[in-house]
Amino acid sequence: MALAHLTSSSRSNLLKPSPPSYPTLILSAVRSPPPPTPLLSRLPFRSLLTNASLLPAPSRPLLKSLFLSSATWLRCGGWRSPPILYKAKLIRGFCHLYDGQEAVAVGMEAAITKKDCIITAYRDHCTFVGRGGTLLEVFSELMGRQAGCSNGKGGSMHFYRKDAGFYGGHGIVGAQVPLGCGLAFAQKYSKGETVTFALYGDGAANQGQLFEALNISALWDLPVILICENNHYGMGTAEWRASKSPAYYKRGDYVPGLKVDGMDALAVKQACKFAKEHVLRNGPIILEMDTYRYHGHSMSDPGSTYRTRDEISGVRQERDPIERIRKVILAHDLATEKELKDFEKEIRKEVDQAIAQAKESPMPEPSELFANVYVKGLGTEAFGADRKEVRAVLP
């Protein structure tokens, strides 16, 4: 099986080998009317069993919206607010931050509709916002309040939004992949022409159920796209210590795979668009997003015991997803520096407002303990530990 690199014929002269230092932009032939050319990706696409031809360059509004959304998410799911709330013990338990990986969620959202389904593991704050979740819902759920998306009963790892096709939010990694294949099965069953994106990490890529699900999806030609968000560390275990074959896009064997620079939102977008068209015709595909997380695995992990601070800051300088888009926008005069700063200020204000509002939201009522154990209407009883006192009959 040959690594079918994107040949020069399919790759137009838009993408050339990477420049010696970042962040030089190579602007090749700009077509006379805008849209502008995409930012050069440092890591080219690598593929298995497929020949991804590039799609045309993105437009200005897209670039702007990409910046806006990713900036929001950086602040929201990222490094500013949750740690503060965590130290104040308003957020407890597990809290997994997505900063550094925003390009994956942003790029994916840009390529799909709300009718397509996304399912992911526990690092789901940004994906949830991308699907239409509000900041208020996010922070309320993190703090366990009623205004949260799961009424405060899910927590950081269980964000769901059914009407926007976001299916979570799962704590046991690997288990969401068969669920995702089931979503794709339902989409095929109802002939919807929609697809499912099932995301997992490099750690979960070694789960057996993933391969089981992949086998069944390939057998039944299900429209599922398996995305491996490879941030190179499974909690504290580096990729090379956990996987014999770190080429996760090749793990499919009989299923095509594509490796994408996961820090480049535009590349992600192109890959997801290609993947969506591919799976509707041909069955599943694996996308590996080469990305990085700046924070540790979760709040309790400093993130520096298994990697050096130099590595983290190096990636942040060279490959930061938001910086990339910012530079493209500035280079093409889509917005001024000041406008972007104002954007960020507004977003920060929004986030602070959302946090304040979330703090106002009350904790769930005691009766909520027994609500939604079963679907209402069947008269089933749910008992607490002490049968005599904490008994609820669901209507």
Partner 1 sequence: MTTIFRGLGALTASNSFDSKKLQLPSPRSFSERKASFLLVRSDGSVNLNLGSNSRARRAEQLITNAVATKADGSAASTASKPGHELLLFEALREGLEEEMDRDPTVCVMGEDVGHYGGSYKVTKGLATKYGDLRVLDTPIAENSFTGMGIGAAMTGLRPVVEGMNMGFLLLAFNQISNNCGMLHYTSGGQFKIPIVIRGPGGVGRQLGAEHSQRLESYFQSIPGIQMVACSTAYNAKGLMKAAIRSENPVILFEHVLLYNLKERIPDEEYICNLEEAEMVRPGEHVTILTYSRMRYHVMQAAKTLVNKGYDPEVIDIRSLKPFDLYTIGNSVKKTHRVLIVEECMRTGGIGASLTAAITENFHDYLDAPIVCLSSQDVPTPYAGTLEEWTVVQPAQIVTAVEQLCQ
Binder of partner 1 out of 51, 151, 237, 357 (CB under 8 A) = 151
Distance between CA 154 and CA 251 in Å, rounded? 32
User: Which range in 82-90, 280-288, 341-349, 380-388 contacts partner 1 by CB under 8 A?
Assistant: 380-388
C-alpha dihedral, 157 to 163 to 164 to 168, nearest 10°: 20
Distance between CA 164 and CA 116 in Å, rounded? 8
User: Which range in 57-65, 180-188, 301-309, 312-320 contacts partner 1 by CB under 8 A?
Assistant: 180-188
Distance between CA 232 and CA 211 in Å, rounded? 20
Helix (H) or strand (E) holding 228, with range, is: strand 224-230
Paired residues of 197 in beta bridges: 118, 225
Q: How far is the CB of 390 from partner 1 (least distance, A)?
A: 13
Binding flags for partner 1, 202-231, as an x/- string (CB under 8 A) = ------xx--xx-xx--xx-----------
Q: Does 133 bind partner 1 (CB under 8 A)?
A: no
108, 136 Cβ separation under 8 angstroms: no
Q: Does 254 bind partner 1 (CB under 8 A)?
A: no
Q: Does 134 bind partner 1 (CB under 8 A)?
A: no
Binder of partner 1 out of 178, 203, 296, 321 (CB under 8 A) = 178
Q: Does 149 bind partner 1 (CB under 8 A)?
A: yes
258, 275 Cβ separation under 8 angstroms: yes
Binder of partner 1 out of 46, 123, 145, 170 (CB under 8 A) = 170
Nearest to 124 by CA among 178, 16, 11, 201: 201
Q: Does 322 bind partner 1 (CB under 8 A)?
A: no
Q: Does 379 bind partner 1 (CB under 8 A)?
A: yes
* Residue 139, CA distances (Å) to 188, 225, 359, 371 in order: 35, 29, 8, 22
Binder of partner 1 out of 83, 171, 236, 246 (CB under 8 A) = 171
User: Which range in 108-116, 177-185, 253-261, 318-326 contacts partner 1 by CB under 8 A?
Assistant: 177-185
User: Which range in 50-58, 88-96, 154-162, 306-314 contacts partner 1 by CB under 8 A?
Assistant: 154-162
Q: How far is the CB of 365 from partner 1 (least distance, A)?
A: 13
Q: Does 366 bind partner 1 (CB under 8 A)?
A: no
Q: Does 187 bind partner 1 (CB under 8 A)?
A: yes
280, 239 Cβ separation under 8 angstroms: no
Paired residues of 161 in beta bridges: 166
Q: Does 79 bind partner 1 (CB under 8 A)?
A: no
Q: Which two tokens stand for residue 155?
A: 């927590």
Q: Does 238 bind partner 1 (CB under 8 A)?
A: no
Q: Does 251 bind partner 1 (CB under 8 A)?
A: no
Paired residues of 198 in beta bridges: 119, 226
Q: Does 283 bind partner 1 (CB under 8 A)?
A: no
Nearer to partner 1, 2 or 378 (CB): 378
What contacts 114, CB < 8 A, 6 or more positions away? 131, 132, 164, 165
Q: How far is the CB of 184 from partner 1 (least distance, A)?
A: 8
Helix (H) or strand (E) holding 215, with range, is: helix 208-220
Q: Does 117 bind partner 1 (CB under 8 A)?
A: yes
Nearer to partner 1, 238 or 392 (CB): 392
Q: Does 1 bind partner 1 (CB under 8 A)?
A: no
Q: State the angle between helix axes of 337-360 and 321-331 in degrees (0 to 180), rounded to the nearest 10.
A: 140
Distance between CA 80 and CA 307 in Å, rounded? 22
In the three-class reduction of DSSP (H, G, I as helix; E, B as strand; rest coil), residue 175 is classed as coil
Count of residues interacting with partner 1 (CB under 8 A):
55
Q: Which two tokens stand for residue 245?
A: 């074959």
Q: Does 265 bind partner 1 (CB under 8 A)?
A: no
Place of tokens 């990305």: 291
Binder of partner 1 out of 5, 31, 162, 345 (CB under 8 A) = 162
Q: Does 84 bind partner 1 (CB under 8 A)?
A: no
Distance between CA 221 and CA 40 in Å, rounded? 34
* Residue 304, CA distances (Å) to 239, 263, 294, 312, 321 in order: 15, 21, 10, 9, 21
AA identity, residue 86: Y
Q: Does 12 bind partner 1 (CB under 8 A)?
A: no
Per CB under 8 A, residues contacting partner 1 are: 117, 119, 148-155, 158, 160-162, 167-172, 175, 177-183, 185-190, 208-209, 212-213, 215-216, 219-220, 371-375, 377-382, 387-388
